[in-house]
Amino acid sequence: MRVLGIESSCDETAVAVYDDSRGLLSHRLHSQVTMHQAYGGVVPELASRDHVRRLLPLVREALAEAGSDESSIDGLAYTAGPGLIGALLVGEGFATALAVSWGKPALGIHHLEGHLLAPLLEPNPPAFPFLALLVSGGHTQLVDVAGLGQYRILGETLDDAAGEAFDKTAKLLGLPYPGGAALASLAQGGRSGVFNFPRPMLDRPGLDFSFSGLKTAALVALRGRDLSAVRADVARGFEEAVVETLAEKCRRALRHTGHQRLVIAGGVGANRRLRERLAEIVRDMNAQLYFPRTEFCTDNGAMIALAGCLRFAAGKLHGLGMSARANWELGAIGV
């Protein structure tokens, strides 16, 4: 089974070829980040237009790199949601048109299913079942993953996603959008304990998160101070608060589910301090930690090609003929 995967849910256009016996054969990505930076965030209309421009050349490159052509592709998989509706429609229109002209099936994939299966692209992939911490720009969820398509949401953010909190706080610190990775680098030079930000929701039972208060705490901490003198310490304090909150909820969820495997996925999963802290927690609990390489933590086509390949191979074709949707609950995805 060989699948061409297409991701276009936000501001990355990405294409990959995944083969169930040979693994990942190619992956190509164009990031629109510099185009949106002038506006301080993603402009949906510009994103859609750029996906239109980039998709076909990226497909050609991905096929050439895989040493493949359309005759060896068995199916197409594309991100059907959640995401920006215009951007999703471009990907869906493109993928289904290509599928019709090649005489192959096209399958719509849930973007978060792609993220949480991404560690399966790596050597020593996790076996099912596992606990997944999904931390991206749009979502923060703890998911009980029983098998392909069997997802139970154990907890989620009540307001901002972790990545969104990183990006908003980065903006307060004068960093360009999206500022998560830049804030993490700034934090490396900051001192621990100078700013002690709250650890939201840790004083309550349960597995939900809330990050909007942290951004406000950072705003208050910066008020009346010389930004250049304190920004590294604020970045450090903020990062420690987010990491400690995510880590404690993972510890609770591992204990609650009895799972022995923890997967980190999504863009914030690239955060080094988060990985280190979760590694300590799983070590203490005799569990195992899995995460994709950094480029597969953030949006990419490889995770969509892989998810498509697994679904085609298992005959789990719920997405055939579906239409793109901006909102789509992971727990309602079905098999």
Are the beta carbons of 304 and 292 closer than 8 angstroms? no
Task: Please identify which residue in 81, 266, 292, 319 interacts with ligand KG4, judged by CB under 6 A.
Answer: 266
CB atoms within 10 A of CB 255: 10
Query: Which structure tokens are listed for 329?
Result: 């609950």
136 lines the binding site for Zn ion (CB under 5 A): yes
Q: Can you tell me the distance from the alpha carbon of 95 to that of 331, in angstroms, rounded to the nearest whole number? A: 25
Among residues 266 and 319, whose Cβ is nearest to ligand KG4?
A: 266
User: Nearest Cα to 303, choosing from 212, 311, 101?
Assistant: 311
Are the beta carbons of 306 and 116 closer than 8 angstroms? no
Task: Please identify which residue in 114, 119, 155, 178 interacts with ligand KG4, judged by CB under 6 A.
Answer: 178
Piece of the chain touching ligand KG4 by CB under 6 A; list 135-143, 198-206, 212-220, 279-287? 135-143
User: Cβ-count burial of 80 within 10 angstroms (0-12 exposed, 13-18 middle, 19+ buried)?
Assistant: buried
Q: What is the dihedral of CA 152, 133, 233, 194, to 10 degrees?
A: 70
Mark 261-300 with x for binding to Zn ion (rule: CB under 5 A) and - for no binding: --------------------------------------x-
91 lines the binding site for ligand KG4 (CB under 6 A): no
| Residue 81 touches which of ligand KG4, Zn ion, none (Cβ within 5-8 Å per kind) | none
| Residue 181 touches which of ligand KG4, Zn ion, none (Cβ within 5-8 Å per kind) | ligand KG4
Residue type, position 303, single letter: M
| Residue 301 touches which of Zn ion, ligand KG4, none (Cβ within 5-8 Å per kind) | none
Among residues 119 and 163, whose Cβ is nearest to ligand KG4?
A: 163
Positions 239 through 258 that interact with Zn ion (CB under 5 A): none
291 lines the binding site for ligand KG4 (CB under 6 A): no
Task: Please identify which residue in 92, 160, 167, 240 interacts with ligand KG4, judged by CB under 6 A.
Answer: 167
User: Nearest Cα to 9, choosing from 53, 33, 44?
Assistant: 44
What is the binding site for Zn ion (CB under 5 A)?
Answer: 136, 299
